[in-house]
Structure 1
Amino acid sequence: MVLNKIEHLLEKYENGETTLQEEQQLQAYFSQDKIESHLEVYRPLFAYFKANQNETFNKDIALKTNKKPIYAWLSVAAIAVLMLGFYFKSTQNISQTHDDLGTIQDPQLAYEEVVRSLELISKSLNKGASTMGYLESYNKGMATVGYINELEHSSNIIFTTKK
């Protein structure tokens, strides 16, 4: 009867369903000198738990540090520097004349600037379009897969039997 109870408790223990009292019963059983031979494999496990109950940690744990939080002040200083930079940049823009909007008075010079800008845009677009060349091979592959699907469909028609 005791053996069946111990085996049942071991099964519950392996499933993580035992209570503390049941685990104490198991520890008491495995601390005995005479236990069943097929349960010997559990003896080191419960002997380990019993030995570790007496261990204690003696070192001090520092819960408070004496360092001052310098990172908080660093973030405040960084924000202050950024705000000053934005302020001086905006006052510098205000002091410039508002009449100069980047317009060019000479028509020939304006035409050359537009052509140069459009060439730069064209080069960027062509570079992007050239990297999309692999999509054509993808489309060819998909067309091949379509042919395989048609072949499979036609073979299904051939091999179906009429009822």
Structure 2
Amino acid sequence: MVLNNIEKLLEKYDNGETTLKEEHILKNYFTGDDVAPHLEMYKPMFAYFLANQQEQFTKDVPLKTKRILNYKWISVAAVVLLMLGFYFGKSLNNNDLGTYDDPQLAFNDFSKSMELISQKLNRGTSTVGYLNEVNKGTATLGYLNEIENTTNIIFKN
């Protein structure tokens, strides 16, 4: 009768429906010596729970955090920001937009820059040439579909 009660409590425990008193009964049963052989697999689990119940946290938990502002470093950061603001403020007021008065000179500079961009792009596309080989390989995979279709026809009939 006790074994049936333990099995029912285990089923309730697995479903998460036990009370604390029922769990205490299960812990006492599985930490004892007279555990049924087919329930031996639960013994280490309840022994672990009992051992964990004995553990205690011994370190102090700080409840207040200390916030110490180092005003020296804040003032240094403010001075650096002001210096950067003055430096970049003066350089942004430069009204030279890179315009050309001579159209031929502008065209020559434009064609030089386009040639440089073209060289860089061509260098990048030359390294992608292996993708053509990948495309050839995937094209041959189409033959595998034909083989699969014919084997399906043969084996279905």
Question: What range is the shorter-chain TM-score in?
Answer: 0.5 to 0.7
Q: Deviations over 1:28-68 (max 9, x none)?
A: 434666x2452566556545645655554444322223342
Of 113, 127, 130, 1:131 maps to 127
Cα distance between partner residues in 2 of 1:7 and 1:155:
55
Paired residues for 1:99-118 under 5 Å: 100-105=96-101, 109-118=105-114
Q: Which residue identity does 1:10 align to in structure 2? A: L
Q: Within 5 A, what are the aligned runs for 1:1-163? A: 1-30=1-30, 35-38=34-37, 39=39, 42=42, 46=46, 49-50=49-50, 53=53, 56-68=56-68, 77=77, 81=81, 85-86=84-85, 88-94=87-93, 96=94, 98=95, 100-105=96-101, 109-153=105-149
Distance in 2 between the 1:41 and 1:157 partners? Answer: 53
| Matched length | 151
Deviation, 1:114, is 2.8
Following superposition, the deviation at residue 3 of structure 1 comes to 1.4
Measure, in 2, the Cα distance between the counterparts of 1:139 and 1:128.
Answer: 19
Residues 118 and 36 of structure 1, relative CA distance in 2, 3 Å threshold: closer
Deviates more, 1:50-59 or 1:129-138: 50-59
Cα displacement (A) at 1:23 = 0.5
Structure 2 unaligned spans of 5+? none
Cα distance in 1 for partners of 2:57, 2:139 equals 71
SS at match of 1:132: coil
Q: Distance in 1 between matches of 2:129 and 2:11?
A: 64
SS of the residue aligned with 2:127?
helix
Structure 1 residue runs of 5 or longer lacking an equivalent are: none
CA–CA distance in structure 2, aligned partners of residues 37 and 159 of structure 1 = 55
Alpha carbon RMSD of aligned pairs, Å? 3.8
Q: Which amino acid counterpart does residue 85 of structure 1 have in structure 2?
A: L
**Partner deviation per Cα, 1:67-105 (whole Å, 9 max, x = no partner):** 4256xx86xx47x82x763565244333x3x4x432334
1:2 is aligned with what amino acid? Answer: V
